[in-house]
Chain A
Amino acid sequence: MGEVLAQAWAVARKDLVLEFRTRTALVSAVVFAALVLTVFNFGRDPTAVPTIDLAPTILWVTFTFAAMLAMNRAFQLELENQALEGLLASPLSRTGLYWGKLVANLVFVAVVEAVGLPLFVLFFDVPVGRVLAPLVGVIALATLGFVAVGTLFSALVMRTRFAELLLVVILLPFLVPPLIGAVQVTARLFGGRPLSESVGYLKLLAAYDIVFVSLASFLFRFTVDE
């Protein structure tokens, strides 16, 4: 177990160092999130619909799109110069490789969300101050689910034709249960409802994370091995 974690950390570190040195993908994803927020601003009529009613949708559509964009990066990067063959030939357990990619993707998406959330508050004037801690918790729960499935599927499609397009098509149906949960909890938080009203959805999110992280850890080996 300790060894798998060490391997995962090595893979994640390699990915993150690569990412923070070039920053192309990260900056693109952050700018993309900001652009989606801007587009939402023009896609609504502020006199007809109060922002607070639309806020959970805006937040989650932005995060979902940004996360999907980030997923493509994880394995596309390994296709250049057959880097993947090197990774697979190294004495690296498949679970370690998956967890490493998962952690790198989580950090990547977390950075995008960390920039996206203040922008969202700024653009739409949503009072998040008093619900910040539970909101961050919900974002973390939902993001873990998104990224666990997304990392597995990005490995699955990387060698197919139209990988980017295919990833979005197969990933979105899987994002619906956590998305429904996240939007419902966020709406209740913004509406000033007590957290106890959201217990059902929080359980759904937690169960989704547990099932899909374990499932993806197990299934990952079948997507990369020849």
Chain B
Amino acid sequence: MSLAHKGRWITMVGLVCLAGVYVRALAFTPVERLQGPAQKIFYLHVPAALWTEAAMILVGLAGIFYLFLKDPRLDRFAAASAEVGTVFAIIVLTTGPIWGKPIWGTWWTWDARLTSTLFLFFLYVGYLLVRGAVRDPGVRARYAAVLGICGLCLVPFIHLSVFLFRTLHPQPIIVKPSAPSLPGSMLATWLFSLVAFSLLYVGFVTQRYAVGDTDHA
């Protein structure tokens, strides 16, 4: 089975899982008392947000290894991860306002966390633009690696400024130092969704990587 085929299969399984997440979240998970049905979007928003950041971290790590090993496969992976990360960032930036409108009464607010996600998105766009602006594959890989590593180092600073800033955004309820503070059934749905998004990330990246393979061949 070719790599593109494998990627397609993983994506299919991920999409089926995502459908399962919808069913479970809408029919078998309790409605949150204060936020009502709007809270359901959390099962999509948070896993997508986690993978948006994880994808940037992987782009940076691939960059570090590329500068030492000079293996073009690492660069191809970084390119794939950045593109998928961009898509996930768009998911986060679309689901966020949909939740924000009924809960906050506004689509967008210049809250630290929204701002930082938006800038992560801009970081991805800049990264992809730099890749598009350089023709030579070797130089492109080097430049992209440098930018990716800088991006990796920027992520903690974005987080620091988030914690210093006053924020309207709900504080982390799952990924935080203490135990998750939500009912087990909600946590189960969320974890299921995280699995679905992880499969989607791997599936998308594998497919994109396979396309890059034929591009360079």
Point out residues on A near B: beta carbons under 8 Å: 149, 152-153, 156-157, 159-162, 166, 169-170, 172-174, 176-177, 180-181, 184, 200-201, 204, 207-208, 211-212, 215-216, 219, 222-223
> What A residues does B149 contact at CB under 8 A?
215, 219
> What A residues does B26 contact at CB under 8 A?
none
> What B residues does A201 contact at CB under 8 A?
164
A-B contact count (CB 8 A): 85
Interface contact B130-A219, CB-CB below 8 Å = no
Interface contact B150-A166, CB-CB below 8 Å = no
> What A residues does B147 contact at CB under 8 A?
153, 156, 170
Interface contact B153-A222, CB-CB below 8 Å = no
Interface contact A173-B146, CB-CB below 8 Å = no
Stretch at the interface among B36-44, B155-163, B169-177: B155-163
Interface contact B153-A215, CB-CB below 8 Å = yes
> Within the complex, what minimum Cβ distance (angstroms) separates B22 from chain A?
33
> Contacts A156-B147, A173-B154, A174-B154; is A222 near B67 (CB within 8 Å)?
yes
Q: Can you offer 30 A-B residue contacts whose CB atoms are under 8 A? A: A152-B150, A157-B133, A159-B134, A159-B139, A160-B133, A160-B143, A166-B126, A166-B133, A169-B122, A170-B127, A173-B122, A173-B123, A174-B154, A176-B119, A176-B161, A177-B154, A177-B160, A180-B161, A180-B164, A180-B165, A181-B161, A181-B164, A184-B164, A201-B164, A204-B161, A207-B157, A211-B153, A215-B150, A219-B149, A223-B142
- Which secondary structure characterizes the binding site on chain B? helix
Closest 7 CB pairs of A and B: A170-B126, A160-B133, A177-B157, A173-B119, A173-B123, A173-B122, A180-B161
- In the complex, how many residues of chain B place their beta carbon closer than 8 angstroms to a beta carbon of chain A? 31
B104-122: which residues lie under 8 A (CB-CB) from chain A?
112, 115-116, 119-120, 122
> What A residues does B127 contact at CB under 8 A?
170
Interface contact B160-A212, CB-CB below 8 Å = no
B59-77: which residues lie under 8 A (CB-CB) from chain A?
67
Question: Counting CB contacts under 8 A, is B145 at the interface?
Answer: yes
CA of A10 to CA of B158, assembled, Å: 36
With A170-B126, A200-B164, A223-B143 given, name 6 new contacts (CB 8 A): A169-B122, A169-B126, A173-B120, A176-B119, A219-B150, A222-B67
> Contacts A169-B126, A176-B158, A177-B157; is A222 near B133 (CB within 8 Å)?
no
> What A residues does B120 contact at CB under 8 A?
173
> What B residues does A223 contact at CB under 8 A?
142-143, 146
